Structure 1
């Protein structure tokens, strides 16, 4: 038995508004409305300040587009185009401070997995550029959270304790909580969400010590032999 940590990607490992701005820019180009970017930026700022309860930045931009009657196919094509340039100058992201060193500390003691609703295109290349792609024992793309995360968590729970980390409670953490896993909320909503979580912080970097302690405790618990069947037989 060994513990597993499930990491979300956007807003958890990949920080910065670059991909979201690229998404808005792609929509603006497709509908030939240069002012759309300004309205999208205003919605993004409202989310980050807590003035509006969007799920995340992508939801903020999508909500503006939908409210203006922009076709779903245009929105989808714009999202895909923005993901195709993930990590480039036009959609820049950065990791939490000290991420590689953090992974070095826990990688031998826990299974590390990536679970994201995003397509795989661009994600692996970004992780490789940060020197952390090889630490993951498994990567799950286009998961279909929240429901699609449940089988990933269930499989991990068969191996031992699970900690699910993400920036959207409803998508990244609620499925884990329902199945009895621990949870860590990061990002803009961490300071204002009323949902029950095991830990929370403005950034993953703020939780390194807590996660390391969780791994140590979980590893110790996993090492304790299960004597329940023996005790019952006696």
Structure 2
């Protein structure tokens, strides 16, 4: 196998795992702690806002669906501890009929194609709860070389990125790492600040975002990412490639939710 002198870092929710199923599950668990009338109103507002274009959200601008639930819950005086409990309960339903998910078109094939050239990393703020089962349901079991959970993006992402950049060949540009995600502030800004390549998917980005690549759907980025992978130059004789001990890992730090 050729030396893998590049790194691809993927976010999970909204990037590798698609669909509003897990977010709806989170909203249902939040609503379960409210009086009946308030719960009905809460869920009605949630469904209206989760389906609306970002610009149509009148009261606030959430960064993603989970943030939408948080912002709505705060308006109903749901405490941070109650939100956290609801979120963790919702993860027990991840990739079940109660919280279905789908994967981007062609992702498994793209990862298999990229693996000879790049180490594949999954980095998510979500806890490890049912993550292995979700990856299996998405057809991605064993597709990543490393899986990091409860990362604590954006602040907690920096140390992980630094460790990945340190594994690049001596003298390699930080652009040899690409971070892919749907939230600029969490998934890409920390990588951008380190000179890494960035790829943003999903809703239109904030005006301050400056991703290297941008598309509505992940599969639309495959041609650009293939070009990025193909532009990797062979390692010079005697150059050390990525750390051979860099193998699949599943971290289980406290969830940052």
TM-score (norm 1): 0.89
- Cα pair 1:184 1:199 within 8 Å, conserved: yes
Q: Deviations over 1:132-160 (max 9, x none)?
A: 22121111000000011111111111233
Q: CA separation in 2, counterparts of 1:226 and 1:178?
A: 30
Give the C-alpha shift of residue 194 in structure 1: 4.4
Matches within 5 A, 1:40-79: 40-46=46-52, 48-52=53-57, 53-79=61-87
SS in structure 2 of the partner of residue 19 of structure 1: helix
Match of 1:173 in 2: 188
**Structure 2 residue aligned with 1:4:** 7
Q: Alpha-carbon deviation of 1:65?
A: 0.6
Considering fraction of residues, name the structure with more helix. 1
Aligned residues: 223
| Separation (CA, whole Å) in 1 of partners of 2:204 and 2:150 | 23
Once the two structures are superposed, residues 22-50 of structure 1 have per-residue CA deviations (whole angstroms, 9 ceiling, x without a partner) of: 1111111121322211111223234x443
TM-score under structure 2 length normalisation: 0.82
1:225 CA displacement = 6.5
The CA distance in 1 between the partners of 2:128 and 2:204, in whole Å, is: 25
Please name the residue that 2:95 is paired with.
87
Taking a change above 3 Å as real, the CA distance of residues 225 and 158 of structure 1, as seen in their structure-2 partners, is farther
Equivalent residue for 1:15?
Answer: 18
Q: Do residues 37 (structure 1) and 68 (structure 2) align?
A: no
Structure-2 residue corresponding to 1:26: 29
Q: Gaps (5+ residues) in structure 1?
A: 228-234
Whether the aligned pair in 2 keeps the contact of 1:188 and 1:202 (CA below 8 Å) is yes
**Residue 193 (structure 1) shift:** 4.6
Deviation at 1:104, TM superposition (A): 1.3
- The answer to whether the 8 Å contact 1:43/1:64 transfers is no
- Does residue 1:164 correspond to 2:169, yes or no? no
Paired residues of 1:28 and 1:37 also in contact (CA < 8 A): yes
- The answer to whether the 8 Å contact 2:119/2:145 transfers is yes
Distance 1:81 1:150 in 2: 28
Query: Which digits, 9 at most, give the CA deviation of each residue in 1:157-207, with x for residues without a partner?
Result: 1233100001110000010011111100111234x6541111011111110
Provide Cα deviations, 1:54-100, integer angstroms capped at 9, x if missing partner.
Answer: 10011011101112211222111111111111001111110001111
Contact 1:44 1:61 in 2 (8 A): no
Q: Does 1:215 align with 2:218?
A: no
Structure 2: gaps spanning 5 or more residues? 169-175, 240-257
Task: Indicate conservation of the 8 Å contact 2:95/2:137, yes or no.
Answer: no
